[in-house]
Chain A
Amino acid sequence: MSIAKDAKDLAKGMLQGLMGKAVAMAPDSWIPGGEPDPLIRVRHGHVGKPVSRIDGPLKVAGAAPFAAEFPMEGMVYAALVYSTIAKGRILAINVAQAEAAPGVRAVMTYRNAPRIARPPVFMSDQKAAGGDDLPVMQEDFVRWNGEPVAVVLADTQEQADHATTLVAVSYELETPMTDFASAKDAGTRTAVFMGQALHQEIGDAEKALAAAAFRVDSHYSTPRHSHNAIELHAVTAAWIGGVLRLHDASQLVAHTAWSLGQMFGIPEDKVVVTSPFVGGGFGGKCLWQHQVLASMAAKLVGRPVRMVLSREGVYRIVGGRALTEQRVALAADAEGKLKAVVHTGTTAKTASNMMAEPFIVATRSMYESETFKLDVQVVELDMLANTFMRAPGEAVGTFALECAMDELAEALDIDPVELRIRNEPEMDPTSGLPFSSRNVVEAWRTGAERFGWSRRSAVPGTVRDGEWLVGMGCATGTYPYYRMPGGAARITLNAEGRASIDIAAHEMGMGTATAQTQVAAERLGLPMGAVSFHYGDSTLPGVVLAGGSQQTASIGASVIAAHRALVKELLAMAGNDSPLAGLKPDEVASRDGGLCRIDDPARHETYVSILSRAGKGSISAEGEAPMPLETQHWSMHSHAAMFCEARVNSVTGEVRIARFLGSFDCGRILNPKTAASQLRGGIIMGLGLALMEETQFDERNGRIVNASLSEYHVPVHMDVPDIDLIWTDIADPHTPMGARGIGEIGITGTAAAVANAVYNATGKRIRDLPITLDKLL
């Protein structure tokens, strides 16, 4: 089944590949972003100002409503029973005692659950949102350890929780494949990601490796990870007059509405998903079984259902990042010029999803080399489907690549910063495309200067402060610019000259509402207070995923399109009595609360005046973003030079991060205040990746062992030093606003910078994450 899925995906990919060639060759002016966004030239407006979050007062007062905080009339509470085997048949489920418990309204199992179709799995269709395509409580069969097998519905959460302990399930166990090594022995295959085989060879890299004067060749591993947003996954679901109404915590409301519509066999406009505030996402707040089960349960009991997963429940049914085993081999001449880059390895997925952790993607565009060999092999395990987690591919791929660069620098006796600068490519080394904007060398130089890199001792283990060994390390971080198809937005202007922007986008803490209000105000020539930004509602225009760091670009391109449509309609409305009479949309700009001629701002009429003369209360225009062809015409990537100073206790092996600097080249920064938080947030998750994070998976039975925040360690205040940030702020001429998304880049390169600092401090090279103290003793 999954092979067929891959084949379909590959066929689609091949078609895209052919189209891609044509797009690459097309003149710039045919491509979105070929003409720079005029906003890039505006340097002293709203964009670029450190505006405090507009939803700040609500959030600090606890008044921002999250998904579990929408009470509904007659609502019942749900609690889940999870399977305790990885694969097998349910022989019996005894629910009689649970049904008889006080307050219990119903117990849903595969026997009485409403019949629905399978979830459309993410990436199988433009709006598919499912974490996997497994049937949801439809059969007597269990496919992962932790799959929900019963839902108890009761008047209170306490009653529901208690009744779950009264449900007795017996299973006929089948032998699951839960062991990575055995699965590899049984055979791997080449992974496919977004329609492309994760395999690329340029020249004969192995031969170049064997022949080179200098080489390193090592294996690295990274474990499973969990997103662990602090907000528990929660949903409040109700059927109201044939419409399924969901208060969700979601980073893809439009996708969720469509996917649930497919499953329940109803049109997507009969599903309304809202999600005004999301308590952290990082790739984890997509469509998993809880939204489906809550919708089914609401149907079964004819009442609204609130389902809040327990923390353990999140680990059981919301997938995380898959493990990887990677080999990186690099070869160079005596000057440090790369002759070969080999980055290969294996990861795990399930048969029910399309997500192979693409750990080679960063390596494609990072350094110039004569030869490349890139390859991801995959095995399928009987486990909860893995998924996207902050910088899928890059987060763990840059760990291996950038540790290897550090190892190569030592072998060559060249400074690690210098080695990277020497291998800076002129054009994308594997696609041959020109870069849209690439200033990583500047990021390296300014970063090294500010961090005091020249004070680093090149000889490991030589700097001591009492019982602490001190070291410095660095690494490159990188994340691409993405923009997905489907963006659309609506702008409405009213007679008072106020604007509202409507788009089905998301605010999970990235500062979307704030930054996009700044951008829209600038674009419309209005004060920020006159603009309201509406989002988080599937009934609004656009299919906008808050993922892949693409939301900023997607909203930007959609609002540009809507603005263009609005200007056209305003000019038509203004008519011949306006100072704007006779002007074409291309000849006017939005300024000072109205439109003016670009090169003659005195020819101006306010929106208020245009509307009042026409006797209209408001005007509304919708626009669709063009296909994101720019990503096939240019190689579009952000970069970061990451610097870390680590202290390692020579007695206990404890690692402390003393200093950290991220020097970024990620396009224009729309709001330095919220951007700094996003970049730091990524780096801090990178510190967790480096030092402590691991979802422990029992390979005997496929069960996650540390399903709690006490046993899955994330960085706490004491683990986080003051993190220094600088950025080039160089606008990318080919993206909306000149910006590239910044939600994920912070986690890339960070783990390698830490590992390299630990090596510099101790002389111990830890290639298996996390770098826990036992590995340093």
Chain B
Amino acid sequence: MTMTMTVNGSPVSLPHDARVSLLDLVREHLHLPGTKKGCNQGACGACTVLVDGERILSCLALAVQFEGRSVTTIEGVGTPGALHPLQAAFIEHDGFQCGYCTPGQICSAIGMAQEIRRGVPSHVTADLAAPDIAPTRDELRERMSGNLCRCGTHNGIIDAIAEIVSADVLLPEPAQ
């Protein structure tokens, strides 16, 4: 019996080799190289994907753990010809230079926006009892700090995310 999960809406069989990380599954087996490898040890965030809408570091996850789960990679968020509004905002605000950390930043931001909406507090949340968490720039910065960018496009990334979050355009669920 082959075990499956879905990646960007398509069923995918899990690898036979239990050592294959979710990151290597998508990059090497499924030929979806949009998800990046920057450290392979949970330190950079380049490999961030969404699993059932939550952001995770795919380099720290073994693919075989994800039977029956739904994984969304950057390829499932939008394509060059049909960009997600957040991807378009990254271009408008120049939220990248080399573009290597970018897919991870974008997936991470989508997951993060859901966390704010669910009321999950962060280290900088001032009022833990407030019904809504205001997505201030510091709130966004704190929550995005697991995604490194060595090119130094932090300002542009926060601008792009802030535009989408504050325009109250709820970050749409990525296409399944």
Residues of chain A touching chain B, judged by Cβ–Cβ distance below 8 Å, are 52-53, 55-66, 68-69, 71, 156-158, 162, 227-232, 277-282, 308, 310-311, 508-511, 673-674, 676-678, 680-685, 708-710, 714-718, 720, 722-723
Residues of chain B from 11 to 44 with CB closer than 8 A to chain A in the complex: 17, 19-20, 24, 27-28, 31-44
Q: Are B36 and A231 in contact (CB under 8 A)?
A: yes
* Additional A-B contacts beyond A60-B90, A231-B98, A311-B39 (5; CB < 8 A): A60-B106, A158-B17, A229-B150, A280-B97, A680-B155
Interface presence of B80 (CB below 8 A): yes
Stretch in B50-58, B126-134, B138-146, B165-173 with 4+ CB within 8 Å of A: B138-146
Chain B residues with CB under 8 A of A57: 80-81, 83, 87, 91
Q: Are A230 and B44 in contact (CB under 8 A)?
A: yes
Residues of chain B touching chain A, judged by Cβ–Cβ distance below 8 Å, are 17, 19-20, 24, 27-28, 31-44, 46, 73-75, 77-81, 83, 87-88, 90-92, 94, 96-103, 106, 124, 137-138, 140-142, 144-158
Q: List 6 A-B contacts (CB under 8 A).
A: A57-B87, A62-B103, A63-B75, A511-B97, A710-B42, A710-B43
- Counted as pairs of residues, one from A and one from B, with CB atoms less than 8 Å apart, the total is 193
Q: Are A157 and B74 in contact (CB under 8 A)?
A: no
Name A66's contact: one of B17, B33, B80, B92 (CB within 8 Å): B33
Q: Are B152 and A676 in contact (CB under 8 A)?
A: no
Chain B residues with CB under 8 A of A677: 94, 97, 151-153, 156
B147 closest partner in A (C-beta)? A717
Q: Are A61 and B74 in contact (CB under 8 A)?
A: yes
Q: Are B92 and A52 in contact (CB under 8 A)?
A: yes
Chain B residues with CB under 8 A of A230: 36, 38, 44, 46, 98, 100-101, 148-151
Main secondary structure of the interface of A (DSSP, over half): loop
Name A69's contact: one of B33, B41, B42, B96 (CB within 8 Å): B33
Q: Are B41 and A710 in contact (CB under 8 A)?
A: yes
Chain A residues with CB under 8 A of B74: 61-62
Q: Are B43 and A708 in contact (CB under 8 A)?
A: yes
Known: A709-B148, A716-B148. A311 touches B40 (CB 8 A): yes
**Complex: how many Å from CA A710 to CA B60?**
14
Among B33, B141, B151, which residue has the most Cβ atoms of chain A within 10 A? B151
The 6 nearest A-B residue pairs measured at CB: A62-B34, A509-B97, A59-B99, A279-B100, A681-B152, A509-B98
Chain A residues with CB under 8 A of B144: 717
A723 closest partner in B (C-beta)? B155
Name B94's contact: one of A66, A673, A683 (CB within 8 Å): A673
B148 smallest CB distance to A (angstroms): 6
**Complex: how many Å from CA A157 to CA B144?**
30
B163 smallest CB distance to A (angstroms): 14
B79 smallest CB distance to A (angstroms): 5
Name A228's contact: one of B31, B150, B154 (CB within 8 Å): B150
Q: Are A717 and B145 in contact (CB under 8 A)?
A: yes
Chain A residues with CB under 8 A of B44: 230, 709
**Complex: how many Å from CA A685 to CA B35?**
24
**Complex: how many Å from CA A310 to CA B80?**
29
B20 closest partner in A (C-beta)? A158
Name B155's contact: one of A156, A227, A722 (CB within 8 Å): A722
**Complex: how many Å from CA A84 to CA B86?**
46
A229 smallest CB distance to B (angstroms): 6
Known: A52-B92, A53-B91. A714 touches B150 (CB 8 A): yes
**Complex: how many Å from CA A58 to CA B140?**
25
A750 smallest CB distance to B (angstroms): 11
**Complex: how many Å from CA A716 to CA B143?**
10
Known: A52-B92, A52-B94. A311 touches B80 (CB 8 A): no
Chain A residues with CB under 8 A of B90: 56, 60
**Complex: how many Å from CA A720 to CA B31?**
34
Chain A residues with CB under 8 A of B106: 60
